[in-house]
């Protein structure tokens, strides 16, 4: 395998994370006051991608940089793939003791992030709003449409 193929194989997962991040920022962009958020989302993604591109020499340092951005920016849907890929790199290249410490630090950071930013911390409050987005309530054909208001009770 020549150097070009090796470099492409190292950069392909980072490119996939970059494409996902660009899509996520575009899908959640807004005008007006939200444009500042788009700038910080782009900065967080750029820092994560740079750390992932430099992960070959210092995988633990890359994981630390990605975790720092993850904790600072509170963008778990955007940065979590980078965190997990950096942890995978540490697991693939380092000894067992380092991997255990890195996995413990990553799990602690992911568990502590909602507490640090005041987000909901119960599992149902965290997962259910994400599952319900984009779904519409459908009524099967032939079923009675539910009333818009509760039925009145007669006294």
pLDDT of residue 1: 67
* Residue 102, CA distances (Å) to 13, 55, 81, 82, 150 in order: 20, 14, 16, 14, 54
Q: 111 lies in a domain?
A: yes
Answer for the pair 60, 93: CB distance below 8 angstroms, yes or no: no
pLDDT of residue 38: 84
Q: 131 lies in a domain?
A: no
Q: 138 lies in a domain?
A: no
Q: 74 lies in a domain?
A: yes
Selection from 95, 93, 60, 70 nearest residue 17 by Cα:
70
pLDDT of residue 138: 54
Domain count for the chain, please give it: 1
Provide the token pair at 92.
Answer: 């693939």
DSSP state of 34: G
pLDDT values of the chain reduced to their tens digit, one per residue, 155 residues: 688 877 788 889 999 999 999 999 888 877 666 566 888 889 999 999 999 998 888 999 999 999 998 888 888 888 999 999 999 999 999 999 999 999 999 999 888 887 887 776 666 665 665 555 544 555 555 555 555 656 666 65
Q: 13 lies in a domain?
A: yes
Q: 101 lies in a domain?
A: yes
What distance in Å separates the CA atoms of residue 114 and residue 67, rounded to the nearest whole number?
Answer: 14
Q: 97 lies in a domain?
A: yes
- Which residue range is the domain that position 97 belongs to? 3-28+38-122
Q: 68 lies in a domain?
A: yes
* Residue 40, CA distances (Å) to 18, 65, 69 in order: 15, 16, 11
pLDDT of residue 141: 56
């Amino acid at each position: 395998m020549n150097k070009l193929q090796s470099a492409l194989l190292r950069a392909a997962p980072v490119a996939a994370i970059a494409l996902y991040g660009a899509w996520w920022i575009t899908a959640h962009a807004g005008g007006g006051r939200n444009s500042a958020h788009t700038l910080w989302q782009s900065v967080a993604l750029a820092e994560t991608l740079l750390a992932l591109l430099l992960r070959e020499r210092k995988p633990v340092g890359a994981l630390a940089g990605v975790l720092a951005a993850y904790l600072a920016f509170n963008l778990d849907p955007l940065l979590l793939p980078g965190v997990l890929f950096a942890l995978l790199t540490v697991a693939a290249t380092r000894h067992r003791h380092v991997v255990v410490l890195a996995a413990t630090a990553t799990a602690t950071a992911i568990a502590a992030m909602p507490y640090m930013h005041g987000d909901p911390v119960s599992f149902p409050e965290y997962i259910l709003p994400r599952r319900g987005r984009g779904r519409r309530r459908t009524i099967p054909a032939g079923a009675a449409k539910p009333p818009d208001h509760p039925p009145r009770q007669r006294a």
